[in-house]
Structure 1
Amino acid sequence: MSEFRVLFTDRKHPDLDIEREVLKRIDANVVDATDEGPDFLERELQLADAVCNQYAVLDRARIEQMKQARVISHYGIGVNRIDVDAATERQIWVANAPDYCTEEVAMHSLALILNLERGIVEYDRLYRGGTWTYDLGRPLHRISGRTLGLLGLGRIARRLARYAAALGYRVRAYDPILSDEDFAGTGVERAADVIDLVASADVLSVHTPLTDATRNMINAEVLAHAKPGLRVVNASRGAVIDEVALREALEQGRAVAALDVIASEPPSMEDPIFAAPGTILTPHAAFYSEEAYEELRRTVAENIVSVFETGRPLHFVNSVNTVSASRGIHV
């Protein structure tokens, strides 16, 4: 009989073959709640030794149902669907996959930037509509010497900074969490604050997690300091940008935007952002490549295996001291 019960609350992919292969190492009993009802999920949360989620919200109420879970392993980098404080209080690890799509998101962000900078999508729309002229794409500017502002300087932003610098961008970033030593050697200039960053940027690319501090960080006050024609790119979390303020800037012609994420997902097709002028939209796809998705699935399962083999996951977001001490684990 399997010693450990591993519950998958939901998944986008068609099967759990990759996860099962990894979880064989601990002879796990895999329970898939994807196509089951809410009663099934609530019952299984009480029985699980480990829980894995993709889109399911694991709030305090659900976490308090977890009677014996030791780890929640999330399909992704950001864990805003999980109440990390509640999990930590119950001595449950919250694990993620911080590295799996670094190249993909950086490259997708760059592709969005270049589409805005060269007017590719707008030209395509006009051309297919019968307008064959470069004039309506004006003004476009030479990339070399322009300034890319990065909101956040984590793994993905640093990769994007290298790509952008190679194209001739001056790269600046605002990240209050990092020290001057962290900035040293990146080739990225440090902005004093978010207004300083936006005021200097020709292109602004968002690369910060969604927290209470970052929600609506790019708002009307900040955008009021932007240069005319600011290119705004977001492949991080939609709610970092105040979409009402952004739509106003778009409608007034003060900015254009390329967004892989919006505040409410999955979106309603009635969302005003779909009618906003000067926008390119992709469906939260920046993370995706076949290779990245396989790596994500393996990492999610490896985090669980690691907890039962070593006492903690490979990657985690809560306090190692709080969880390990309560479990009597030496780390």
Structure 2
Amino acid sequence: MQIETCPISQRTWLMHTLQTFIRPFKPSLVKPPSNLEKKLEWSKTGSPRLSIPRPVKRKCVVTERLVEDVWLYDLDHKSSTPKKNGRILYFCGGGFQAPPSSQHWSFVVELSRRLPHLHLTIISYPLAPRTTASTAIPALLKVYHEISSQSQRASEDLHMCGDSSGGNIALTLTLHALSTKSEVTPKSIMLISPVVDCSNSNPDMKEVNTVDPVLSTGYTGDVAIKWRGDVSPSDPTISPVEGELSLLQDRNVMVNGIIGTWDVLAPDTIRLMDRLKEIGVEGKWWVGEGQMHCFPLAWRYGLSDSVKAKDWIIDVLKQSSK
């Protein structure tokens, strides 16, 4: 495993200023809107039907489809060639409770533009509190089986990608799929500031909580409770760091990721990295000292730290999809 560490001294003053400005507002910046229940159209599984922003429609051909009662959105940038050799399944973050934000849409459009050889599919997964993990994960496994079978017939490699809570689902689904030999094996996983442990019990989180400008341990604990429902906090269904990670090495799945150390979720992800390294799972990781939760998604604001992180993600996805 290759781990690249960017020291805090390389963090730009603009990023530091932004973090200082937003810290008093945490975690209200990431809380889902209170009117989502009435505002959105829901499938029976609790998957929200998404409204596609106009800028996305201008740049991409977007195809909406309902697979196993879960809404899916295929994005193909209008500048890309029709010839594809793979597909990214993207799971957006949102505390397991919110649909993709404008930052997510900008990010996936950029992925689609820069990775013209890959289809990109956004999975609008069932959200809490309407649906909890014990219901959502089985439903998503049916979706994974259908899409992976389609990709196999089309000779496409499959790549899982997700940020924050979406990273949790991307890793969880992969581990479940690998436990069934009949399922198609993803070629790689890309995790962006993922939630990997819903117990919210890592003692190192307490220290990071004092500097995190976006999240708090109180908020992540509340989010975890809403998502896990009656599932035990240590169950791999919600805490994939506790899962059979050796399956990734057995099936040659590359696990890549990027985190910022000023993120209360980082200590759990560092534990995941240590476990993957011990097992011998291949992958590339970027650890940004002093960077905040999901900082690559802020690239559209011109923050050079975020632009570099976004470009790193794209480069790794390019290498993984050769």
User: TM-score under structure 1 normalisation?
Assistant: 0.29
Question: Larger strand proportion, structure 1 or 2?
Answer: 2
* Higher normalized contact order (CA 8 Å, seq sep 6+, divided by chain length): 2
The structure with the larger Rg is: 1
